[in-house]
Amino acid sequence: MLRKFYVLIISMFIITAAAPAAMAELPLGPGIGGGQGWYDVYTNVDGCSIYFDGVYKGTTTGGILSVGVYSTAAPYNTARAEKSGFSSASKSLPRTPGAGEHQSVYLTVNPITPTTGNIKVSSSPSGAAVYVNSVYYGTTPHTVSNLPAGNNDLRLTYSGYNDYRDTVRIVAGQTTTTYASLQSQVTYGTLSVSSTPSNANIYLDGAYKGTAPRTIGGLSQGAHTLEVTMPGFQEWANTVQIHSNQVSYVTATLTADPQATTGSISISSNPSYASVYVDSIYYGTTNPGRVLLANNIAAGSHSVKVTLSGYADSVSTVTVNSGQTTTVNANLGGGPTGNGAITITSSPTGATVLLNNVNKGITPVTLSDLTPGGYTVTLELSGYTTWSEIAQVNNGATSTVSANLAPTPTATQSPAPMLAVIGALGACAVILAARKQE
């Protein structure tokens, strides 16, 4: 009887020792136990504040912040990254990591593209009232903030002085400086200019005023310098006297230049404010409502280039004849597209890039001319876990996606040896109990 009992005890020991080996093959469920795990939060720029369900957890350094969590605690649902000057980014957290585990979370913040700029206005004398787009902002010196990018109308007024007006081009994110020298109020006269032959170019006090015949009003009384030019003719220049509330008449009779070897080019553009180059030499900028005249151009063939940022260049070859004016009307094509781009990098490099499941090359790579919106970026590299996130493309901006690829995880050590020890201790306890019964 005792022999059978010992045989039974030994059999139980063998079964107990063998059982852990079979259990070791079963995978352990996620989050077993109350040990600490970590969420590794990666951001594409340093210094991002990280929040879990609105609770501040720290700031990324070197592009990463590790946040410790416990598997037995209430799980977090959402991670959010914030940084001044950047749009915030958030996403749902993966499952709570178990003891000693790390879960990677990738958040991409994009720079906020400014849409407004500033203008700093000063004047002589100071104290002039400042109006921008007909809105009063104070007196000079003064800085007007948050003005829309593009052309803005500036007007300064001061008692006893003429109003100052200008069109100021505001650049987003920048401050434009303007200085106005106000002129004392004076009475005005008018100048009527004709020429023989007609269509000659008129310059008054060095400023182009169009072609003759032309009437020019709003001129301060006193002496002014008048120049009348035409290709193939000698320049006509004289001083004219302007009288208050009167019209002064001048007829410029031009003398042909027998040795003329030059002509001119009249250039306009759509849109205006484009830069003009003749044979790579800069001649100025086109303005609305009037042409840019390039004078003293040698007779023959010349290249005219009209360029404006954000538009396709206009390049043409024209022929200039002695004593004549050649006309160029440049219509600039294209214009701002509003599309954006994504720059994608990975560590290690050489990962295959899939954009909305379409192969776009290997990292590092920049994908341009993308329509604004969300794109799924997936990175694949042999020996590493597939990485994916949604990146936002903004108008005229380049988004950055930076991925730290994690090696494919290897199997963890089996807990079978510990179970075998527990089984052996149990068998010994049974044997000792049997001996006491004897």
Please answer whether residues 170 and 152 qualify as being in contact, where contact means their C-beta atoms are separated by less than 8 angstroms.
yes
Checking if the pLDDT of 27 tops 50, the result is no
**Structure tokens that stand for 247 in this block:** 């019209």
What local confidence, expressed as pLDDT, does residue 340 receive?
A: 75
Instruction: Return the amino acid letter for 186.
Output: V
Fold of the CATH domain 116-181: Immunoglobulin-like (2.60.40)
Q: What kind of architecture, by CATH, is found in domain 36-107? A: Sandwich (2.60)
The domain covering 261-336 belongs, at the CATH homologous superfamily level, to Immunoglobulins (2.60.40.10)
Q: For 220-243, what is the mean pLDDT?
A: 91
pLDDT band of residue 418 (cuts 50, 70, 90) is very low
Helix (H, G, I), strand (E, B) or coil at 271: coil
Instruction: Return the amino acid letter for 394.
Output: N
Checking if the pLDDT of 22 tops 50, the result is no
Q: For 194-202, what is the mean pLDDT?
A: 89
What local confidence, expressed as pLDDT, does residue 25 receive?
A: 31
Please answer whether residues 261 and 321 qualify as being in contact, where contact means their C-beta atoms are separated by less than 8 angstroms.
no
The Cα–Cα gap between 198 and 165 comes to 32
CB neighbours of 299 closer than 8 A, spacing ≥ 6?
261, 262, 263, 320, 321, 322
DSSP string, 47-71: S-EEEETTEEEEE-BTTEEEEEEET
Over the stretch 273-291, which tens digit does the pLDDT of each residue have?
A: 899 999 999 988 988 777 8
Please answer whether residues 342 and 326 qualify as being in contact, where contact means their C-beta atoms are separated by less than 8 angstroms.
no
The Cα–Cα gap between 85 and 393 comes to 17
The Cα–Cα gap between 288 and 246 comes to 29
Q: Identify the CATH class of 188-258.
A: mainly beta
Q: For 123-128, what is the mean pLDDT?
A: 92
CB neighbours of 410 closer than 8 A, spacing ≥ 6?
none
pLDDT band of residue 410 (cuts 50, 70, 90) is low
Checking if the pLDDT of 263 tops 90, the result is no
Q: For 135-147, what is the mean pLDDT?
A: 92
Over the stretch 37-79, which tens digit does the pLDDT of each residue have?
A: 999 999 999 999 999 999 999 999 999 999 999 988 899 999 9
Which DSSP symbol is given to 407? B
Q: For residue 40, which phi and psi values (nearest 5 degrees)?
A: -95, 110
Q: For 321-348, what is the mean pLDDT?
A: 80
CATH 2.60.40.1120-classified regions of the chain: 116-181, 188-258
Over the stretch 344-378, which tens digit does the pLDDT of each residue have?
A: 999 888 899 999 999 988 888 888 778 877 899 99
CATH 2.60.40.10-classified regions of the chain: 261-336
Which DSSP symbol is given to 386? -
The Cα–Cα gap between 351 and 334 comes to 35
